[in-house]
Amino acid sequence: MEWSNLVTNVAGELFAPTTAAFALAAIGLNVHFGLTGLLNMGQAGFMLLGAYGFAISTIAGHPLWFAVAVAIACAVVFALILGIPTLKLRGDYLAIVTIAAAEIVRLVGRSTALTELTGASNGLLGNAFKTTFHGASPFPDGSLTLGPFTYAMNASNSWWLRLVGWVVVILGALLVWRLMRSPWGRVLKGIREDEDAVRSLGKNVFAYKMQALVLGGVIGALSGILYVLPRAVQPDALGRPTTFYVWTILLLGGAATVFGPILGSMLFWATLMLIKSFMRAAVPEQVMTVGEIENFGWILVGITLMLLIVFRPQGLLGDEKELAIDAR
């Protein structure tokens, strides 16, 4: 077993584009659940809409800024359509509705009636929509080695994508940090704890919930763009499991915290890479194939989520007195 390669792969996963994309998705979910108490189980729907909005606009010939704006607009419209009839529901009913809404987005995306637009179940190939993002890079072509890490400058899995992804994650974390200390954020926390008390003070609880749903959804749409830039837009890749990965990341790091989603995403993907890399090297193929090792890694993710909810629902950085998922 090449331990140096294993350590390099695990360390590289800490700042990979996928890690940044899920950290941003968890930041958006943190606005929904951590700040406001909304049990949104459809964050993957916002991610998929953002990915479609960006990819379809780019393929149509629009510039990068316009494609990003379309992705944001898709998330805003989806949040309004989703929120108007559902935000007065109790938490468990809201969870059911949001996961159903995300599934509707996925099924519409893979519908054969929209093959020319979305590519149906085959999705949209990456080379068709990455040109504007790569064209915006200030770096020359080629590759760059920093320490043990060697990546291309402008390709799909590049330094340019890592730089942009983590800058967006840091901006998202700063936004949440500022909101948590603003009067608007304090109202959201009040709604999370006791919305009847906030309503008695004359606040429009529905409007505040809608604002939180839109903001978290827009952040989720941006994470969808980051997620598909190293790969293709494939609707089944952003289905129900993706939402549960985002929840695991949020609960692992700690809901209602600023850095919890970032720490959770790093630990989630690095640990998964460590398990898979170690088992591929240590377990003979006669005992477990590569595909079975892949599935075993995800089984461990599910067990981790269950253990978190049972033993440490506030996560690694969270405060049990402030927020725990089993406290509602």
pLDDT in tens, the chain (328 residues): 677 778 888 899 999 999 999 999 999 999 999 899 899 999 999 999 999 999 999 999 999 999 999 999 999 999 999 999 888 877 778 889 999 999 999 999 988 888 888 988 888 987 888 888 988 989 888 888 888 888 988 878 889 999 999 999 999 999 999 998 999 999 999 998 888 899 988 899 999 999 999 999 999 999 999 999 998 999 998 988 899 899 989 988 888 899 999 999 999 999 888 888 888 877 887 778 888 888 887 888 778 778 877 887 778 887 776 665 554 4
CA 78/CA 220 separation, integer angstroms: 12
The DSSP 8-state label assigned to residue 257 in this structure reads -
- In this prediction, residue 224 carries a pLDDT of 95
Domains and CATH numbers, the chain: 3-135+151-312 (1.10.3470)
Contacts of 195 (CB under 8 A, 6+ apart): 205
CA 302/CA 78 separation, integer angstroms: 28
- In this prediction, residue 328 carries a pLDDT of 47
Contacts of 6 (CB under 8 A, 6+ apart): 274, 277, 278, 281
- In this prediction, residue 327 carries a pLDDT of 47
For residue 130, CA distances in Å to 48, 136, 164, 301 come to: 16, 10, 14, 31
